[in-house]
Structure 1
């Protein structure tokens, strides 16, 4: 409704101005041309008010719905009104710099091909033109072998054996679905790609398909080698990709267990279709297998993160603790060493517990919080929010579990070896 009022008011004002110019030309040719200049239009209004008052009245009538429409727009969408009044829409849109640089000449299916996206992941090279769900034009090359470093490949039309499969597709304006063609032999391909930090491949690309496909491409390409994207040298956590989730989880586990010795197992199949994901991950942490339940959440500004993550940044040179192998005991003390119990109270601390919770599973601990509360119980686990869970058995009343935030723990003492 507000848009209709604004549009109607502007049309009335425009009609009144046109009527005023026509009245001016009716008075004389000189006044007609003069009325096209705003300062001289005011002169015509004062000199020939009787002739100009009706067009001016129509303009004033258009001001009423214009003001009412702008008021209604400001009441429910003030930002939109501010954008309209700031005249930002008159300025040409400045496109963001391209993430990848291409210097590729040639054609695909007889049409110029200008890709904006490119990647080489899991042995599949993709060059894509267009930002929609279906690419306007696309080249897909499935390599016979996966490579994690430089790629050097040459294929001639007479070559046989396991060769890359080439697929080209295009979408015409009158089509709803793209057309695709596959080529398995009889083509020329040259790839000479070298890694470029942090996650790109750059180099020469040359492709010539048989004449009936009308496809010849040659030049320089730049490709992403994984699903990570970087902004100012840091991983952009807003990107919905499997690699982004793996980076977020691995970074969380390193800070939570205070070690860089984290080897994450492959994640389960995840459909990144919501802003909250719940699942368990398996990882080798300091050589020990761990299964950690996690909840990933996504915010519009910060991107993906682990819920309850309050762990400090890991020091640059943090390494896993090195445990020296004990010297072989003398024969006279073999029986004594075999029966001696390891005292885990030596070197125990809050950080040691967070770094290796399995070592202290089921042991009795005494905790004092910053508020002065004292809790004693057997250590059960570190939950998915990073909190310490102590279990306390009560006579005749079952058992009780206490959850402690590590940041609120003043002292933590291990009471048994």
Structure 2
């Protein structure tokens, strides 16, 4: 929309200017000079014989151009800056990954794939997560193939879910927002080195969410699906010989099962991985009446209880006591 308004305004301005100059040829040197050098003031001039239609078209062109620039500044300030700084050749691949998240500046310093989830996190001192955005492809695994992912509003098929989390202060509850579709997303990956990958991202949500992200990032580990296609045959798996029974290790728990029947798991060792990418290991102590998961962690001679809201938990694992 912004591009159409700006481009339409420029084209209409050029047409109205040429129209006004040709219409001023018979008005004398003064009006002709004014229409040629400073045409934008002619809509304010009266009694000089200028025709109405080209001046009206010029006013509409100026309104269209101004509205487009204002929308561009509001929704995509980085493109606005490139446009008016003359750095038109810059692309997202040339920029450091940055943007805004729910109206707050967003400069993710941790970017990585966690299974079928792409995590962007901005942390503070002590590895505390300030803002995070997770693109969950769990319900859209068919998109994870090749080297690029492109989605536009209105596209059919499965969409990855966006999970946005942000903090407004130490005494305020964290904000959480989930978006299931209706945004634009472009992810391009290319192998770099033995295990790394270069990733270029452009994410733009509707204006109501005040969230956008764009730029380039180097991933320390490339995702397993990179370069694969849906038609690529799966490698033949060789079944290993049966091994003696070993003690059961960590097993992922169903969060819903834990919340509905916590007594089965209370007292077991547990490991919690949060949406922000932090991991806590301790003993599952309880599930509170407001459905918060309580994990007891030893701190020297003492014990500290951590509470987790289910929406903050990306994965929880447990193992039987020995």
- Greater gyration radius: 1
TM-score normalised by the chain length of structure 1: 0.29
TM-score normalised by the chain length of structure 2: 0.37
